Structure 1
Amino acid sequence: MLASMSEMLKKAQAGRYAIANFDIWNNEMLFGVMNAVEKTRSPVILAFGSGFTDNTDIYYYAKMLVERARHSPMPIAIHWDHGRNMEIIQNAIRCGFNSIMIDASAQEFEENIRISKEVVDYCKIIGVPVEAELGHIGPETEYEELLSHYKYTDPDMAAEFVERTGIDCLATAIGNAHGVYTSEPQINLDILRQVRDKVEIPLVLHGASGISDADVKKSIEIGISKINIHTELCQAAMSAYAANPDKPYLKLQQDVIAAIEARATEKLELFGSCGHGEKASDLQIVPTR
């Protein structure tokens, strides 16, 4: 069923587990993730963003995501990831996304608030929950280089940011990064604890592919309720291709789906969401626009 991300995350926060946000952009990813979701009876967030539009036509793929969600017994939100401006956000909503992230984290604090609040004001009228980021993770790059100018979430600014924007969940910058980590991730759990003490809304961890299971579990214990995964799905797919380069593509595609399903299952189990999809009878069901 197409469900409210906000309600899903509130239940996860209360239950001390995390909802997987899988960033996906093709059929193999969708089928593999949904196989894992329905076998483990997990709620899930299916996400897409501007970085995938060179590979996938958003207009048609969004319809596929929405229809797959509507016909699943599990609660599913369709999420636009890292929207940079109102035009992109509005287009995503027109395509059928029922939750969005506005990412103005590269801007100064006041400008981040202004842009995020503008999006929240627009989205609340139509019942679309909004995620925003405080601190700045930045684009994919060498991890060591990223850390040299990393903008961690400021716990003292987090409460003001949440109050003034009215967002539904907050993406944190605690040493996490997008893409492949070129050295061991340095996750600052102390900052996460301080942010958790300052704000009440659900917290989000981006760039979780490659973060140790131990740090993921600790992050959930502290208060992370949504965890983004993309790179590890790509790595699983590429490994399946590499293992069977001479297979007919029709059969190879099945191997890729199975590999993505296995990796997604590992994440759902790690995040503690297995079985919680069956406890979602009180979640708000979102009508198709």
Structure 2
Amino acid sequence: MVKQAYSQHYAIAAFNVNNLEWAKAILLAAQEAQAPVILEVTAGAAHYMGSFRLAYDLIVDLHQALHITVPVAIHLDHGGYTDVLKTLGVGYTSVMFDGSSLKLTENIKLTDQIVKLAKPQAVTVEAEVGTIGGQEDGTIAQGELASLNEAIAMAKTGVDMLALGIGNIHGPYPDNWEGLNLAHLRTLATGIEDAIKEPLPLVLHGGSGIPDDQIKAAIQLGIAKINVNTEGQLAFHEAMRDYVLSGQDLVGKNYDPRRFLQPGLTAIKEMCLDRLRVFGSANRV
């Protein structure tokens, strides 16, 4: 999926799954758009839903029940070493080991071990170097920029995808955010390819809220997977808030959760359809 996206200059959307409504909305959107898609599960989401296995089974069962025919991958997002082992045992098709908080040598050592475990199982491995910031106090104007030397060292472990800081951050972007550093992205992509003698698809975390023109430019420079979570949460929240404040929840049996949650599900689906179009992955099946 990601290799093809890289070579044809579009990006695969990687949407985080938070519950059944999220998984259903994402799958329906991908089918409607005829787009390959990645459904991501974090340790926090797995804990909320019950376990990594439950999240996996939920996605697989929905995939079958909804008669989804587009390519779908189930991905561990921001997993620790133990999380990776758990998801490999369940059958996730892709894992991200996030050792960005560790010293570089330890991050590379563990990533190398994971590559050796995952490759025989045909499981794709994503890693991260440096730290992708998160906007928590409203003061961050620019996310971290990844070191080229560190990126090359990580690429040499044999990972399939690499998440790098190019000014992006997790969560909502503050008003004083300076935008993606596209020149640095070009340097990273070129430097990595020169060092390992082949192109390496790059991953953009914190994909929610970045202007579309910057996203499209980043895709042309090597971004082939874009993570989206906050955008879905905000769309769901806004739709549900409007539904309640307008009093629609008080009409008839709209208190029934199957009706009550429908506006939120629809909002997530519409958000996904929009991102699939912007990322260029619609009609790529």
> TM-score w.r.t. structure 1 length?
0.87
Using the TM superposition, give the Cα deviation of residue 46 of structure 1 relative to its aligned residue in structure 2, in angstroms.
Answer: 0.3
Q: The residue matched to 1:144 in structure 2 has which SS?
A: coil
Match of 2:187 in 1: 194
Deviation at 1:94, TM superposition (A): 2.0
Residue identity matched to 1:76 = V
Structure 2, unmatched stretches of 5+, are 193-198
User: Which amino acid letter does the alignment assign opposite residue 208 of structure 2?
Assistant: S
Offset at residue 124 of structure 1 (A): 1.2
| Cα distance, 1:154–1:231 mapped onto 2, change above 3 Å | same
Q: 1:66 aligns with which of 60, 68, 89?
A: 60
Instruction: Note the C-alpha offset of 1:250.
Output: 2.9
**Aligned twin of 1:79:** 75
Deviation at residue 24 of structure 1 after TM alignment: 1.1
- Give unmatched runs, 5+ long, in structure 1: 1-7, 278-289
Q: Does 1:120 align with 2:105?
A: no
Choose which of 259, 265, 271 in structure 2 pairs with 1:257. Answer: 265
CA 217–243 in structure 1, closer or farther in 2 if over 3 Å, else same: same
Which residue of the other structure, out of 7, 28, 39, is the alignment partner of 1:14? 7
- Cα distance in 2 for partners of 1:20, 1:269 equals 10
RMSD: 1.7
Structure 2: which amino acid aligns with 1:159?
I
Q: Which amino acid aligns with 2:266?
A: A
Secondary structure at 1:244's aligned position in 2?
A: helix
Residue correspondences, number: 266
Match of 2:167 among 172, 175, 200: 175
- Cα distance in 2, alignment partners of residues 205 and 26 from structure 1: 23
Distance 1:276 1:160, change over 3 A: same
Task: Choose between structure 1 and 2 for higher RCO, CA contacts under 8 A separated by at least 6 residues.
Answer: 1
| SS in structure 1 at match of 2:99 | coil
CA apart distance, 1:184: 4.5
Instruction: Determine helix, strand or coil for the equivalent of 1:101.
Output: strand
Q: 1:34 to 1:209 in 2, by over 3 A?
A: same
Structure 1 counterpart of 2:60, one-letter code: V
- What secondary structure is seen at the aligned counterpart in 1 of 2:185? helix
Q: Return structure 1 stretches of 4+ with deviation > 3 angstroms.
A: 67-71
- Asked if the contact 1:22/1:230 (under 8 Å) is kept, the reply is yes
State the secondary structure of the residue aligned to 1:227: strand
